[in-house]
Structure 1
């Protein structure tokens, strides 16, 4: 009997360790990437909103506000908010875009999907990166290393920002807001 209780306590310890690993903070470098990717997707959704039909305008603004707010809080805290459901939440904008594409393809007028393809694809790619990265972090069975040093964090943040900017900035230029920003009649 004492042997069984010893086995049960080992299993309980392992279970506690696994749940502690899932409840532990996200590594600073990973948090930096998640925040920057969500920021890029949020900026693209915000730039797409003014050129969207009125029905989609509110939806894109809500998505952009959620992504931008989550990015700011994720970068500031050890554990991003709602982290257990981030993989699902990050896929919602992708699902909305897929639904719009299907409706646009099946509509007789074909005017339902009026959003530019490249910016929506880049925003979806960034949302997929957030969903995939957070799913991997959630599934791992070990706690995240927290004391990785400031230099590693700054390097991870700089590389993440450079990679996200390399795809986000050209896509922003293809939105109606981006075109309007460079075709002003005043020279600055």
Structure 2
């Protein structure tokens, strides 16, 4: 009789632990899946940036530092290991900031602003950004679910045992919320 009660308790505890482990695994995989959607859009953006820089270079050749900063930010973002999502987010925020400076340049160069190649690249980049925004919302929802479970009961009790991983939200950094200031002195 006592043996049956003991076995029932052990079995119930086992099911409880398996459920917690599976929830950690599910949340982690949802975050990684959501990030893969973002990663595809980022790769499309990386491929577009050299064409954009070359187009701008023809009209604004003396803006060398702006163009170099965009290429450097792109290369830095591409160099981040794909499995380090939190570092990738930081690099992407920097790249986003430098891209904004290129489009600010177009305001000062009417010929560039009217160039069909530049307009086409700008349209493609805009489509990528819209896709990124959708993917970012989904990613942030999965991160919220993952982080909430790992930081609340019962998950917090078993987080280290089941290798819980905290993920950062993919948010716009403070610097990119400000208007870009371009000076041609």
Bin the TM-score by the shorter chain. Answer: 0.3 to 0.5
Rg larger in structure:
2
Normalising by structure 2, report the TM-score.
0.44
Q: Which has the higher contact order (CA 8 A, sep 6+)?
A: 1
Normalising by structure 1, report the TM-score.
0.44
